[in-house]
Every structure is written in C-alpha cells, then in structure tokens.
C-alpha cells in the first residue's frame, strides 16, 4: 500500500522536519514556541486588518447597545454592552503551585467570558457581532435604519417581519450555534444551525426551544460547516456565517481587547516592558482566540504574549502553524482522531485565515490532556467557586506550562501578569456541571 502523503511528504519526513510533531501525533502534551514570532511592528506589515476595522466594530456594538438592553434584560447593568468581569484568582494560583509544583511567578487573573450575557461563552463576542452587522446592513440598504438613529427601534414587529424574509445559517460544535441562534431568532431571522456530532444535547434543546432549526450531523465540525455552507448557498436570502474564514467574527472578538485595557486600568494593573502580559486562550477553529489575540496586540503591542491552548486530540492550529500548511492539513491527516471532551475545541482543521493572520504574532501553542481539563475544572470550583465548561479550562494550564518551559531567566520578572481566558460555562445545566465536577473528583 502506498503511504499517504501530506503536501507531498510522508508523515515521517514531516516529523523529521519538526521533531515536536512526533509527540503531537502521539497525543502527548506539548509546548511549541513559535519560531516565526516577530515584533509587533514587523508582523503588522503583513496583515491587512487594521485598528480602524476593530474600532469600527466597537462603534457598531455601541450603536446596538440600546437594542440589546431592551431585548436582553441581563445586559441592562452594562447598558447593552456584552462584557465579562476580570478577576484575580489567588486561591487557584496557590492550588496550581501545589498541584504542579511550580513557582507561580506573577499575578494570575481570569477573564470570565463564561459569564458573558446572552450566550454564556466567548461566542457572545464574535457570533452576536456578525449577526448584528448583517442585520444593520440589510436594514440600512432597505432604508429602514440610519446609523444616527436609536437602534432600540429594531425591537418592533415591523423590523421582525422585515428580517423574517432573511435566513442565517452556521455550522458549529455547539457554542457558536448557541450564540448565533439566540441572537438571530431574537432579531427575527430564520436561523438554521448545523451541529457537529460533538455538540451537546442540551445546546440543541435550548436552541430548538427558541425556534431555531437545528440539523444534526454524525460527523465532525468541518463536515457540519461544509454542509451548512452548501445548503445556505441554495437560498439567495440566506447568509452563511463562516467560522473558518469570517473577518466579521474575528473583529467582534477583537473588541474585547479595548475593554480589557480599561479593566486592567481600573484594577491599577500596568502593562509595560517591566510588566508584560501573558494571555492563554483556548483554541478551536481559531476565530475567537485569534480575534482576541489580534486585538490585544493592537493595544499592548510587544508587551503582550498570546498563547493558544488546544486539546491533545485536536491540535489543528498547532499543526497548521508548525507545518505552515494552515487549513491545507487536518489532525486526521496525521492520524489524530479529533475526539475530545472539550466540545468547543473539537476542530480538526484550523481556520487558514486566522493561522495566516497570526503566524507572526502568536507566541506559542500548547496542548492539554482531557483529564487535566476536568481536574482543573474541579480545582477552580473548589478554590474560587467558578464553574467553567471543560473547553474553557484549557487556558488554565498556560501559566504552569510557560513557567516550566521558559528559561526561568526570561520570566524572573515579578511584574508579570497572566490572564487565563475562561471561554464558557454559565449556560451549562446544573446536573451536567455536577457530572463534570464529579469526573474531576475521580481523576
């Protein structure tokens, strides 16, 4: 039998070229420092997206705030802005020190996107943003709205009837479908979510209860996206939200950075050359962590270092970046099964758009075993009373991994600030969260 080739090379020759790949293929936990990392100024020369694009997204979200405040009362206390708290987690830091026996240098903060209103995950940033942008474009095009107006008017029967002539479709492992389904149904769109086999039953049930059409697949995320895209293309009034290539999703995520900057200032935390910021972001297809990381680089430039975290069984971004093949390669090509309990991260092929945009900005990628996700889930619940879904714990190993891996010299600085990006959890039903917790207790 002829050996399968990946971009013209055998798996063995890929492993020879990138020795770390052997461990990746064996689904061992690894840390990869990006050899293509460049200074912010250098890296930005090759990137087409600008600060103005992110500012434009931020302004659009401000325009929609009066609408969101009306239709989602949980956003009233933030005046219609979808944002999450930033908290210091001292007890968890102590716990990590004891469990992993590392000197936990620096402050440890948690960005609680699990508490984001409406969708309970990081998808409340990009997913909601892209649907709002599409709605705005349609309404303006049909002379129903101007950017000067109070967008509260969108909460009306006339607008819902207008939007019901249009459809939205998306492929998802669960959370993107939740966010896009909830906001689209609220606005009045006909919405179809194509769910991969990883998607949890409760997410499908919740969506159906809100009038969203859910189509289930027995295959993985890439297939659900492909099928969703294909079906959407048959209807000229249907708009497909393309998680693998969407600049809009990316910009919606990126807005987080400006808000984080203000939160750090409010906490009197300085970020500069003596106080570098290290951020750890769970990564699926890459849009969420990529968008946030891009925004953070715009704001903090060379003083921020962003790391992506992936399950050992779904290291698609790592393989894409390492081989520089991006979306031309899947984890399955290397014999990795893409089966993980971290449903939000169960993606076998990364976004080529995100990989190429960030290939010189991202500091590194590490992988984490599923068991560790559950152990950290329980630890965080015990120490801080914060409950996250398994995917969202992937970032928690970041500070430990980095401190272990990095030559101690480089991290000696006590001014260091770590932010673990907690990407989801607040919508998980109580009994399912209890089962997660118990699993962590057994392990």
State the nearest-atom distance from the C-beta of 306 to ligand PLP, in Å: 13
Given 276, 284, 398, 399, the residue binding ligand PLP (CB under 6 A): 284
Given 289, 311, 315, 320, the residue binding ligand PLP (CB under 6 A): 289
Maximal CA-CA distance, the chain: 66
Q: Which of 67/421 has CB closer to ligand PLP?
A: 421
Measured CA distances, 268 to 91, 92, 286 (Å): 20, 21, 31
String marking each residue 32-71 x if it binds ligand PLP according to CB under 6 A: ----------------------------------------
Closest among 347, 251, 320 to 291, alpha carbons compared? 251
Q: Which of 220/389 has CB closer to ligand PLP?
A: 389
Q: Which of 317/411 has CB closer to ligand PLP?
A: 317
288 part of the interface to ligand PLP, by CB under 6 A: yes
Given 60, 107, 111, 123, the residue binding ligand PLP (CB under 6 A): 123
Given 109, 285, 318, 358, the residue binding ligand PLP (CB under 6 A): 285
Among the residue ranges 5-13, 33-41, 120-128, 202-210, the one whose residues contact ligand PLP (CB under 6 A): 120-128
Given 283, 292, 304, 411, the residue binding ligand PLP (CB under 6 A): 283
State the nearest-atom distance from the C-beta of 29 to ligand PLP, in Å: 18
Question: Site residues for ligand PLP, window 300-359 (CB under 6 A)?
Answer: 344-345
In whole angstroms, give the CA distance from residue 338 to residue 312. 9
State the nearest-atom distance from the C-beta of 129 to ligand PLP, in Å: 13
Q: What is the DSSP string of 7-56?
A: TTB-HHHHHHH-THHHHHHTT---EEE-TT---HHHHHTT----HHHHHH
In whole angstroms, give the CA distance from residue 431 to residue 439. 12
- 3-state per-residue secondary structure call for 54-91: HHHHHHHHHHHHHHHHHHCHHHHHHCCCCCCCEEECHH
Q: What is the DSSP string of 192-238?
A: EEEE-TTS-HHHHHHHHHTT-EEEE-SS-HHHHHHHHHHHHHT-TTE
Q: Which of 104/225 has CB closer to ligand PLP?
A: 225
Number of residues that bind ligand PLP (CB under 6 A): 20
Question: Site residues for ligand PLP, window 147-206 (CB under 6 A)?
Answer: 175-176
Backbone angles phi and psi of 385, in degrees to 5 = 60, 35
Given 323, 391, 401, 426, the residue binding ligand PLP (CB under 6 A): 391
Residue 339 buriedness (CB in 10 A; 0-12 / 13-18 / 19+):
middle
Token readout for 328 is: 């031309």
Provide the binding-site residues for ligand PLP, judged by CB under 6 A. 121-123, 175-176, 282-289, 344-345, 389, 391-392, 423-424
């Amino acid at each position: 039998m002829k050996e399968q080739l990946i971009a013209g090379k055998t798996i063995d020759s890929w492993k020879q070229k990138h020795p770390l790949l052997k461990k990746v293929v064996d689904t061992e936990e690894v840390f990869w420092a990006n050899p293509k990392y460049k200074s912010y100024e250098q890296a930005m020369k090759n990137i087409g997206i600008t600060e103005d694009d992110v500012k434009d997204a931020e302004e659009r979200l401000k325009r929609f705030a009066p609408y969101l405040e009306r239709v989602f009362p949980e956003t009233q206390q933030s005046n219609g802005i979808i944002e999450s708290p930033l908290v210091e987690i001292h007890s968890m830091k102590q716990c990590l020190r004891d469990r992993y026996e590392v000197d936990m240098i620096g402050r440890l903060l948690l960005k609680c996107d699990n508490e984001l209103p409406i969708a309970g995950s990081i998808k409340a940033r990009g997913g909601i943003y892209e649907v709002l942008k599409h709605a705005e474009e349609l309404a303006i095009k049909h002379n129903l709205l101007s950017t000067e107006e109070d967008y509260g008017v969108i909460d009306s029967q006339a607008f819902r009837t207008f939007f019901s002539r249009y459809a939205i479709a998306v492929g998802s492992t669960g959370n993107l479908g939740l966010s896009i389904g909830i906001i689209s149904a609220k606005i009045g769109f006909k919405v179809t979510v194509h769910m991969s086999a990883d998607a949890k039953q409760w997410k499908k049930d919740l969506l159906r209860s809100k009038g969203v059409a859910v189509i289930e697949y027995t295959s993985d995320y890439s297939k659900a996206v492909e099928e969703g895209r294909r079906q959407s293309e048959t209807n000229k009034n249907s708009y497909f939200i393309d998680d693998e290539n969407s600049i809009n999703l990316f910009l919606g995520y990126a807005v987080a950075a400006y808000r984080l900057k203000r939160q750090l200032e409010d906490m009197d935390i300085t970020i500069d050359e003596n106080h570098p910021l290290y951020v750890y972001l769970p990564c699926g297809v890459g849009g969420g962590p990529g968008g946030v990381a891009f925004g953070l680089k715009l704001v903090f430039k060379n003083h921020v270092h962003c790391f992506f975290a992936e399950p050992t069984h779904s290291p698609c971004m790592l393989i894409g970046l390492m081989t520089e093949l991006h979306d031309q390669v899947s984890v399955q090509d290397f014999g990795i099964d893409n089966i993980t309990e971290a449903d939000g991260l169960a993606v076998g092929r990364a976004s080529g758009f995100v990989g190429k945009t960030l290939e010189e900005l991202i500091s590194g990628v590490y992988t984490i075993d599923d068991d560790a996700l559950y152990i950290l889930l329980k630890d965080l619940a015990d120490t801080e009373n914060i409950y996250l879904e398994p995917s969202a714990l992937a970032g928690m190993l970041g500070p430990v991994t980095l401190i272990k891996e990095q030559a101690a010299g480089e991290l000696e600085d006590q001014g260091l600030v770590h932010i673990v990006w907690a990407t989801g959890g607040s919508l998980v039903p109580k009994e399912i969260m209890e089962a997660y917790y118990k699993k962590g207790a057994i392990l």
